[in-house]
């Protein structure tokens, strides 16, 4: 009998990666390296947008002709302005900047030849605004990206950004004998060394537990993801219903407990409320697999269980800020589905539940961009604040980037740190798996609004929520635009008070009584009222001067019982002993 002596191929070990998996691993590492050099912004996403716009413009001779006509018309306007300026010495502008544009507000920009520079620049912006909008066939997302990118590119060449073309900087240089430039050079060197990790961060004078986040309290729960702080009473009696605050995990909780004069938490405690607040852990590589379900269970549900153990037989006023409000809405919808009656009310600060129109942040969220971030997060296990900073800076590039660079590097000025600035510099991270799920399920797929979001593997519906709702939007919010926040009226069939307050995503919420120049509009809609469109609401809602905080407390008071003796801190007999003093340890993690 002949034996087959041909050597057989060795079986592939079970642990060996397949060629496809190996190729994918190589690609992810390459993408992560490229992302580090592109401020975590996907060049593919931008290229697709430009290709869509350019290809449609290339086959649109009518639009090309109109843009040529506009360019010639603008050239004529500028020429007539120059002629009038030369002959009369003063004349009306040929283009006017919007009232919100502060770049050329200083009277020095009306002097020759700087007036010509700013007029020419504004005309160029006007041309590009026409060129990038309304081109038939271009997708809305790509149109928004191209228009935004054009504005950003033009901003780089604004005459206000350069020493030789900025009259305000030139005046300062003349008056100071050039000392502003020496100070600016020192500022630039200091910032460069800090960016390279060769120098310690600049001291701010604010530290959690020392100068901020100093409202007295105790940590009564600590798990892998959160510490729960119960604040000590400051009044002889308190409302029986506690307040549970769920801040966003993209920020450290003490945005709501800054200095004593502008701490929302202290304000609530002083109004006679027992306040609990979640402090999220700043995740590291070991937390890469934490997902949205963990944030539901280890976060909001675990905190609510603790609150109800410390103060039993009382419903809870639940409050969520930004992403914390979105997460809280998910949990509230799951509780409504499961007939869980532990909540007394729902308050949402600058929180979205419908992501169909999330504002300019959507410019940085599409399939290409999310995949880019996922590949980068796969190498570290988390997304850092620095990786997010580029997008947020571009959303408000004048205030966050160019005006700061001009002020610090050309004018030689440094802003005096305040508590809000110190908090903003106190960076956080986000676990890779959770952040990917959040972007795909909520931003890209809008699962929560569509009724597809699942908790405990069962879908939840916001329309099941029957709690009274107090919802706050802010006028100049770049993160959660108020018209997007207003969509809560479409999702929840319940009594809703909507407040629109002056300020932005952070400063509009940190709006303590006595803060100058604050005002807000407020209007209530009952569950059976007809829908009111945002612009109609804006026209009808009465305006009030001052802070909205007292209005919120009055709303809570109307839904709370008579005051009682304050509860003890923690509940050792029910499994929630005091773990330590506020603000805890998680908030101090860097």
Phi, psi of 248, rounded to the nearest 5 degrees: -70, 145
CA-wise closest residue to 407 among 580, 188, 129: 188
Other CB atoms within a 10 A radius of the CB of residue 127 amount to: 17
At residue 173, the 3 state secondary structure works out as helix
Catalytic residue among 94, 308, 322, 553: 322
State CA 60 to chain mean position distance. Answer: 38
- Give first-to-last CA distance, the chain, whole Å: 74
For residues 106 and 283, give the distance between their C-alpha atoms in angstroms, rounded to a whole number. 45
Task: Name the helix (H) or strand (E) containing 343.
Answer: strand 343-349
Other CB atoms within a 10 A radius of the CB of residue 449 amount to: 19
The two three-digit tokens of residue 244, written as one number: 């549970």
For residues 386 and 176, give the distance between their C-alpha atoms in angstroms, rounded to a whole number. 35
Instruction: Please indicate whether residue 322 is annotated as part of the active site.
Output: yes
Tokens 């699962």, residue located = 447
- CA angle at 165 for the pair 154 and 414, rounded to the nearest 5°: 85
Which are the contacts of 318, defined by CB distance < 8 A and separation ≥ 6? Answer: 243, 244, 246, 304, 328, 332, 343, 345, 346, 347
Catalytic residues: 322
């Amino acid at each position: 009998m002949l034996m087959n002596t041909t050597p057989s191929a060795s079986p592939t070990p079970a642990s060996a990666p397949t060629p496809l998996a190996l190729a994918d691993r190589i690609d992810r590492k390459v993408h992560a390296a490229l992302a580090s050099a592109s401020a975590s912004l996907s060049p593919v996403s931008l290229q697709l947008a430009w290709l869509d716009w350019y290809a449609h413009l290339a086959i649109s001779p009518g639009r090309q002709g109109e843009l040529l006509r506009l360019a010639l018309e603008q050239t004529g306007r500028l020429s007539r302005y120059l002629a009038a300026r030369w002959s009369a010495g003063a004349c009306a502008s040929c283009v006017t900047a919007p009232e919100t544009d502060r770049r050329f507000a200083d009277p020095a920009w009306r002097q020759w030849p700087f007036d010509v520079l700013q007029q020419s620049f504004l005309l160029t912006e006007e041309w590009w605004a026409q060129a990038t909008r309304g081109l038939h066939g271009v997708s809305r997302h790509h149109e928004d990206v191209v228009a935004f990118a054009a504005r950003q590119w033009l901003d780089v060449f604004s005459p206000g950004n350069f020493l030789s073309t900025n009259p305000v900087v030139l005046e300062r240089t003349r008056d100071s004998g050039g000392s502003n430039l020496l100070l600016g050079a020192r500022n630039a060197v200091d910032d460069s060394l800090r960016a390279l990790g060769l120098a310690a961060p600049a001291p701010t004078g604010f530290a959690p537990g020392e100068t901020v986040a100093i409202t007295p309290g105790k940590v009564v729960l600590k798990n892998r993801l959160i510490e729960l702080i119960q604040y000590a009473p400051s009044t002889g009696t308190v409302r029986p219903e506690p307040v549970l605050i769920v801040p966003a995990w993209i920020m450290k909780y003490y945005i709501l407990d800054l200095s004593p004069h502008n701490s929302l938490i202290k304000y609530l405690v002083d109004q006679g409320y027992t306040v609990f607040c979640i402090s999220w852990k700043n995740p590291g590589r070991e937390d890469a697999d934490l997902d949205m379900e963990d944030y539901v269970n280890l976060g909001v549900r675990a905190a609510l269980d603790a609150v109800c153990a410390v103060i039993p037989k009382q419903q809870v006023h639940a409050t969520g800020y930004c992403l914390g409000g979105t997460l809280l809405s998910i949990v509230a919808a799951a509780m409504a589905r499961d007939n869980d009656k532990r909540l007394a009310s729902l308050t949402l600060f600058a929180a979205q539940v419908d992501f169909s129109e999330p504002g300019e942040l959507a410019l940085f969220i599409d399939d290409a961009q999310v995949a880019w971030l996922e590949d980068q997060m796969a190498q570290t296990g988390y997304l850092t604040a620095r990786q997010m900073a580029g997008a947020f800076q571009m959303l408000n590039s004048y205030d966050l980037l160019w005006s700061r660079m001009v002020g610090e590097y050309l004018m030689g000025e440094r802003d005096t740190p305040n508590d809000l600035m110190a908090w903003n510099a106190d960076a956080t991270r986000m676990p890779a798996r959770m952040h990917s799920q959040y972007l795909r399920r909520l931003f890209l797929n809008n699962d929560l609004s569509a009724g597809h979001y699942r908790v405990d593997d069962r879908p939840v519906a916001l329309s099941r929520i029957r709690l009274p709702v107090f919802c706050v939007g802010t006028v100049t919010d770049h993160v959660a635009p108020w018209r997007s926040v207003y969509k809560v009226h479409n999702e929840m069939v319940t009594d809703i008070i909507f407040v629109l307050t002056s300020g932005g995503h952070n400063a509009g919420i940190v709006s303590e009584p006595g803060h100058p120049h604050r005002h807000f509009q407020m209007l209530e809609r009952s569950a059976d009222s007809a829908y009111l469109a945002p612009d109609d609401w804006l026209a009808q809602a009465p305006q009030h001067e001052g802070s909205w905080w007292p209005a919120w407390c009055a709303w809570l008071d109307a839904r709370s019982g008579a005051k009682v003796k304050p509860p003890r801190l923690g509940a050792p007999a029910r499994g929630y002993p005091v773990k330590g003093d506020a603000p805890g340890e998680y908030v101090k993690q860097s």
